[in-house]
Amino acid sequence: MARISLTVDGVRYADDVPPRTLLVHYLREQLGKVGTVVGCDTSNCGACTVLMTDPDGHARGVKSCSVLAVQADGRTVTTVEGLAPAGDLHPVQRAFHEQHALQCGFCTPGMIMAAVDLLAEQPDPTEEQVRHGLEGNLCRCTGYQNIVRAVLAAAAAARGPAAVPEPAAVPAPAAPVEEPAREVAV
Amino acid sequence: MTATMTEREVGRARRRKEDARLLTGRTLWTENVTLPGMLHLAILRSPVAHARITRIDVSAALLRDNVVTAFTGADVADVQGSLPCAWPVTEDIVLPAHPPLAVTEVRHAGEAVAAVVARDRASALDALEAIEVDYEPLPPVLDLEAALAEGAPLVHAESGTNKCYTWVFDSAAAGTGGDVAEASSAAEIVIRRRYVQQRLVPAFMEPRSVVVDPTGDQVTVWSATQIPHILRLMLALITGEPEHRIRVIAPDVGGGFGGKLQVLPEELIAYLAAQRVGKPVKYTESRSESMLSAHHGRDQIQDITLYARRDGTLTGIDVKLLANMGAYLGIVTPGVPLLGAFMYNAIYKVPAYRFECTGVFTTTTLTDAYRGAGRPEATYAIERAMDELAAEIGVDPLEIRRRNWIRHEEFPYTTVAGLTYDSGNYEAATDKATELFGYAELRAEQARRRAAGDPVQLGLGVSTYTEMCGLAPSRILGALRYGAGGWETASVRVLPTGKVELVTGSSPHGQGHETAWSQIVADQLGVAFEDIEVLHGDTRISHKGLDTYGSRSLTVGGIAIVQACQKVLAKARPIAAHLLECAPEDLEFTGGSFRVRGTPDAAKTVGECALAVFAAHNLPDGVEPSLDADATFDPQNFSFPHGTHLCAAEVDTETGAVRLRRYVAVDDVGRVVNPLIVEGQVHGGVVQGIAQALYEEAVYDADGNLLTGSFVDYTLPSAADVPEIVSDRTETPATSNPLGVKGVGEAGTIASTPAVVNAIVDALRPYGVTDVRMPCTPERVWQALREVAP
């Protein structure tokens, strides 16, 4: 057993963990932080991404399946559960909602944390930079398009309300159905 | 409530109700379920493709710390039963036993052979290493054609053959068209091609997971499944546990794409384990286990022949398929090619058609439904072959389609495969797509680059698809020997305060049912979107349903919702009339209320009727004090979404690298309930189809080892690998259902694969390239060029 102490989502914890424990398993099984999930064994999918401070105190995105819990000793970790106070949303979470950037939602915690990390590095990214910045996070549902829109929208929101683009383009139907509203045959 | 009084919900880009929990990490995945006393299951899997188990010994595992029990297939041989195949497509199909844990023989790498239950997951996994198994190797069976040859080694020796079945459709015999042999002898043009549908992995992001709690009056099973209702029935049939003693819960489910349309060995093993120890047991697969054990998709060899006149008019289509079943039959394995059998004629008027499919056993992971299931394969073959026909007679790929497609004024149209397409407008979708794409300009650029000998050539790919979805009319399923029906069910419960609970039998795993169903109910009952709660995925709440697959939730389940709502209004009408002191026939339901004709201020909402029903003090004589209603809808026809997808690909003739420059998708999915959700389905579907065209393939080596056993080798595209999709719609309402809706879940995947490969081949056609085998990696493209180089 190894003794670790760390801060997760604003709460200080001190625990004994088997040295082989991965950070993601420590978060999920010992702290109950089940918002962070495991999608693969090979650090390809990024579903487990959290922010962890480096020795200089800078928060960086890490794949918590590739970090041992003991490596988080003395660090500060932020998961998707700690991004915003209960009942509120972080601007990136809000942008994901507005732009319909999630479907099944399994990749979403990691994708959001990777996006937060990306925007901390590049507050005003191009679409190309967003696509490359999220390369380490896989999504099978969305085709990424609305995720990219959401990250760009969150960046724009941070620059001020005038820069926020319209929500995801929704094409109007070519030939709307002529139908009187709320007529129901009973 | 006032907002919905004036504005229709159906058609609005509502943001999803589901998002709140998914965005904040409050989701209930099966893996998040933790119960008092819960134990953990780990599964030992075969490291070889084909072998006899000559000895298996778990005794050393039982001595490990924290291990509660360990067992083998032999230990549970009498109780484990056989996993179900619900679609025995022919009378003489070979249906081999499929034990959850192998007993005497393993038939694919990754097959489960033993199980350990321990106090924690790590202990269970550690103990697997102490299990001793001796395997006596048997020859692997991998190649479909070799597997059918005389004297080939057998996957199931007791069957005496690797052939599972042969299923034939012949339009002459069915009376739906002419004789392909006649078309063949009269043909002026013959296009004969072989296409290979590589094996794919559905690769849902949430690994499969199951928790079984045997401690209550009902055995409760949580599973990351698309099919909680079917799973309950199958568990009852397999285990002998009475159906009412089993409760299945599909909580939040992280994607499926057909991959979770299955009854799993792991579900049965967890069930057996929980029964053995009398405690809750959890199993969650690793991704590597998922790659080996979760069913794969596609894997067909398609021989397609088009017969045509010199002007390109089709006179017949002949299709012969070899379909890889894998080692066993999953729940709908044999039926997957049949879902394509009716689609090779696609949007075209074809006088004669013959289809023959032979299912083949191999020592590989079983195949089954993957997004589109049969229809992407069919669409790929016909759309690729139509481009070849266009090239043969020297016309543009769009022109060959115009010469053959069903014109919009010809609907409803009964096809050579016997389906009646209720509606469609291929001209409108194609016009819109070519305009958005800039088709003429891109063709001009292509000509310039060809003339200049540009090493990076431009190719344009066309895919004009339709598909049959909204599975399915029960009678048709019966005629195809499927074991169940295709109806769907809904229940509306109007609470005393006027809030509504809507119970649906379809089981979402990312599709946004909670949002879309609320929009439908809001319009039907005049209740606010926010005042509706959609309940699903728990057989204790939703006792009946056929779940989610085949783009069926809206076109079947959505209609059940409409019908249940109409029953509620029928029950509310006499109550409203009583409260308003008028005759029921004097009321009209408009603007969300029952109103007295000519006196619109005299009105009662459904909510007001619900409160009166709750008190039940003042109801008309003989009226049941309830506004609740159930409805079950069985469709009379499939739904037939269609569209035109156009892809521009830049192909580097020196390196083989492909870059998708522009992708336009114009889809006609009929009336749209929520355009945001539809657009999301299109994006995701298109990218999965692009992934088949460019990136993904499950590969076995000559010994039957899966080489693509993780996301390192099985290359799902990332955001950096896919283009922006320009998506738009035309709207030709379906006439086969009261909402005018068509399915959308699979359309993008069906459409996009041929659009991409057609673009690549189009770029390289001047070099003499007529095909590139999928996935079109730089190496494959480069090889294709090298093979034709002078």
The domain limits of chain A are 2-81, 91-163
Q: Is the pLDDT of residue A178 over 50?
A: no
What CATH number belongs to A91-163? 1.10.150.120
A88-144 residue pLDDT tens: 999 999 999 999 999 999 999 999 999 999 999 999 999 999 999 999 999 999 999
B451-499 residue pLDDT tens: 999 999 999 999 999 999 999 999 999 999 999 999 999 999 999 999 9
- Which among A135, A184, A108 has a CA at the least distance from the CA of B590? A184
How many residues comprise chain A?
186
Collapsing DSSP to helix, strand or coil, B150 comes out as coil
CB contact under 8 A, B253 and A167: no
Radius of gyration of chain B (CA): 28
Yes or no: say if B406 and B347 are a contact pair by the CB < 8 Å rule: yes
- What are the beta bridge partners of residue B569? none
Q: What is the DSSP string of B668-713?
A: E-BS-S-HHHHHHHHHHHHHHHHHHHHT----B-TTS-BS--STTT
CB contact under 8 A, A173 and B524: no
Residue ranges in B37-189 assigned as alpha helix (H): 59-62, 121-128, 144-148, 171-174, 180-186
CB contact under 8 A, A34 and B13: no
Please, which pLDDT band fits residue A181 given cuts at 50, 70 and 90? very low
Collapsing DSSP to helix, strand or coil, B424 comes out as coil
Of the candidates A44, A81, A127, the beta carbon closest to that of B712 is on A44
**Rounded Cα gap, residues B550 and B511, in angstroms:** 12
Tell whether domain A2-81 is in CATH 3.20.20.140.
no
- Which among B562, B175, B149 has a CA at the least distance from the CA of B322? B149
> Which class for B788: exposed (0-12), middle (13-18), buried (19 or more C-beta within 10 A)?
exposed
pLDDT at B611: 97
> CA end-to-end span of chain A, whole Å?
69
Name the token pair of B738: 């009261």
Collapsing DSSP to helix, strand or coil, B277 comes out as helix
Of the candidates A38, A105, A137, the beta carbon closest to that of B22 is on A105
B382-440 residue pLDDT tens: 999 999 999 999 999 999 999 999 999 999 999 999 999 999 999 999 999 999 999 99
Single-letter amino acid, residue B142: L
CA distance B316 to chain A (A): 34
Best mutation site among A98, A102, A145 for testing chain B: the one with the most B CBs within 10 Å? A145
Residues 6+ apart with CB under 8 A from B285: B207, B208, B209, B266, B293, B294
Sheet containing strand B488-494, strands side by side = B532-535, B500-504, B488-494, B629-633
Q: In chain A, how long is the greatest CA-to-CA distance?
A: 70
**Rounded Cα gap, residues B555 and B738, in angstroms:** 9
Residues in chain A within 8 Å Cβ distance of B19: 96-97, 102, 105
CB contact under 8 A, A89 and B24: yes
Residues in chain A within 8 Å Cβ distance of B679: 100, 146, 168, 170-171
CA distance B284 to chain A (A): 10
Name the token pair of B362: 């191999």
Please, which pLDDT band fits residue A168 given cuts at 50, 70 and 90? low
Yes or no: say if B602 and B595 are a contact pair by the CB < 8 Å rule: yes
Of the candidates B32, B511, B683, the beta carbon closest to that of A145 is on B683
This model's pTM is above 0.90: yes
Residues in chain B within 8 Å Cβ distance of A186: 566, 569-570, 573, 589
Residues in chain A within 8 Å Cβ distance of B283: none
CA distance B594 to chain A (A): 11
- Which among B343, B254, B408, B745 has a CA at the least distance from the CA of B548? B745
Catalogue the long-range contacts made by B190-193 (C-beta closer than 8 Å, 24 or more residues apart). B190/B305, B190/B306, B190/B307, B190/B308, B191/B305, B191/B306, B191/B308, B191/B385, B191/B388, B191/B389, B191/B392, B192/B303, B192/B304, B192/B305, B192/B306, B193/B303, B193/B304, B193/B305, B193/B381, B193/B384, B193/B385, B193/B388, B193/B771
CB contact under 8 A, A138 and B718: yes
**Rounded Cα gap, residues A76 and A61, in angstroms:** 12
CB contact under 8 A, B25 and A33: yes
State how far Cα B587 lies from the chain centre.
44
Best mutation site among A36, A65, A141 for testing chain B: the one with the most B CBs within 10 Å? A141
**Rounded Cα gap, residues B420 and B176, in angstroms:** 11
**Rounded Cα gap, residues B196 and B774, in angstroms:** 7
Q: Is the dihedral of CA A179, A184, B2, B8 positive or negative?
A: negative
Yes or no: say if B105 and B140 are a contact pair by the CB < 8 Å rule: no
**Rounded Cα gap, residues A133 and B19, in angstroms:** 23
Of the candidates A105, A137, A140, the beta carbon closest to that of B257 is on A140
Residues in chain A within 8 Å Cβ distance of B13: 167-168, 170
B44-86 residue pLDDT tens: 999 999 999 999 999 999 999 999 999 999 999 999 999 999 9
Percent of chain B with pLDDT over 70: 99
- Which among B357, B417, B343 has a CA at the least distance from the CA of B177? B417
Q: Hey, what domains does chain B have and what are their CATH numbers? A: 2-26+487-633 (3.30.365.10), 33-138+205-255+260-293 (3.90.1170.50), 297-471+637-788 (3.30.365.10)
Intervals of chain B under pLDDT 50: 1-5
Collapsing DSSP to helix, strand or coil, A83 comes out as coil
CB contact under 8 A, B206 and A104: yes
Q: Name the phi and psi angles at B116, rounded to 5.
A: -125, 135
Sheet containing strand B163-170, strands side by side = B163-170, B353-361, B314-326, B297-308, B189-200
How many residues comprise chain B?
790
CB contact under 8 A, A42 and B711: yes
Name the token pair of B717: 């595209």
Burial B73-108 (b: 16+ CB within 10 A, else e): bebbeeebbebbbbbbbeeebbbbebbbbbbebbbb
Residues in chain B within 8 Å Cβ distance of A183: 589-590
pLDDT at B789: 82
Residue ranges in B74-151 assigned as alpha helix (H): 121-128, 144-148
Best mutation site among B718, B732, B742 for testing chain A: the one with the most A CBs within 10 Å? B718
**Rounded Cα gap, residues B199 and B720, in angstroms:** 24
Q: Name the phi and psi angles at A105, rounded to 5.
A: 85, 5
- Which among B258, B250, B261 has a CA at the least distance from the CA of B209? B250
- Where does B327-389 show beta strands of DSSP type E? 353-361
Of the candidates B24, B592, B686, the beta carbon closest to that of A143 is on B686
Give the CA distances from residue B429 to residues B378, B667, B717, B732, in Å, rounded to whole numbers and listed in that order.
21, 7, 28, 10
- Which among B683, B640, B679 has a CA at the least distance from the CA of B663? B683
- Which among B726, B756, B691 has a CA at the least distance from the CA of B298? B691
Single-letter amino acid, residue B641: P
User: Beta B209-213 vs B219-223: how paired, if at all?
Assistant: antiparallel
- Which among B321, B284, B279, B51 has a CA at the least distance from the CA of B166? B321
Best mutation site among B5, B19, B589 for testing chain A: the one with the most A CBs within 10 Å? B19
**Rounded Cα gap, residues B147 and B52, in angstroms:** 19
